[in-house]
């Protein structure tokens, strides 16, 4: 049985465990309700573990009082930023392709990711600056948050960044809703799993 600890290393390692579990749940839900992605389960677990590690790592660095409230608030900030990324993409860009074309291509939309890259980079810099300025004035903490934001955007946010470049017919807007719901599920499962693992070291006040 896992024994929780309040050290930076234990927070980070348990964060990676929670992240991998969240990725597994995401893959399972995607398999049942959307499409088969079990072929990428290894990549998903590694990505989830890396993201989970980085969030728990920066949380330990930024907060002296490791409270449940701050933990949930910190995770929900990242969720809100991803929703903002999709919203900005829809406002800034004009569609250059369709959902049907993406499905037909059946390959990673590299051209769309490249086209959205300037906004994605600016968003990553802005997000890391916002979070680090809210919680710390230390340069090393700013760098840690920047690394975390970069990792999260690179592994989870690229499909969100080019939403505005894709035309969604009225009968396909549910796809955007599905994406946001999956982001919510990932956040809740990850934060909840980590909370259970580290329960004794997350203060209730």
What's the number of domains the chain is made of?
Answer: 1
- Report how far apart, in Å, the C-alpha atoms of 149 and of each of 17, 27, 35, 131, 192 are: 19, 22, 28, 9, 20
Contact by Cβ (8 Å): 162, 116: yes
**What is the Cα–Cα distance from 97 to 110, expressed in whole angstroms?**
13
Query: Is 59 contained in some domain?
Result: yes
Whether 60 is covered by a domain: the verdict is yes
Residue 28 forms part of a structural domain = yes
Q: What is the token pair recorded at 189?
A: 């499962």
Q: Which domain holds residue 36?
A: 8-201
| Tens digits of residue pLDDT in 167-185 | 988 777 788 888 899 999 9
At which residue do the structure tokens 């919203």 appear? 87
The token pair that represents 180 in the structure block: 């946001």
In a domain, 123, yes or no: yes
pLDDT band (50, 70, 90) for residue 6: low
Q: For residues 125 and 175, which has the higher predicted lDDT (pLDDT)?
A: 125
Structure confidence at residue 65 (pLDDT): 83
* Higher pLDDT pick, 57 / 1: 57
> Can you tell me the distance from the alpha carbon of 29 to that of 173, in angstroms, rounded to the nearest whole number?
19
pLDDT of residue 5: 53
pTM, entire model: 0.90
């Amino acid at each position: 049985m896992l024994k929780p600890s309040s050290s930076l290393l234990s927070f980070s390692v348990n964060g990676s465990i929670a992240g991998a579990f969240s990725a597994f749940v995401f893959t399972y839900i995607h398999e049942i309700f959307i499409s088969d992605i079990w072929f990428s389960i290894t990549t998903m677990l590694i990505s989830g573990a890396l993201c989970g590690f980085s969030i728990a790592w920066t949380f330990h660095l930024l907060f002296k009082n490791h409270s449940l409230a701050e933990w949930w608030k910190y995770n929900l900030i990242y969720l809100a930023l991803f929703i903002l990324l999709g919203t900005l993409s829809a406002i800034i860009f004009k569609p250059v392709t369709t959902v049907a074309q993406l499905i037909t291509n059946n390959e990673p939309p590299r051209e769309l990711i490249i086209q959205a890259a300037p906004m994605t980079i600016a968003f990553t810099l802005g997000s890391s600056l916002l979070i680090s300025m809210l919680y710390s004035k230390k340069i090393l903490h700013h760098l840690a948050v920047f690394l975390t934001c970069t990792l999260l955007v690179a592994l989870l946010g690229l499909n969100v960044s080019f939403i505005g470049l894709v035309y969604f017919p009225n009968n396909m807007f549910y796809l955007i809703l599905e994406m946001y719901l999956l982001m919510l599920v990932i956040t809740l499962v990850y934060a909840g799993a980590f909370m259970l693992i580290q329960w004794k070291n997350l203060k209730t006040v």
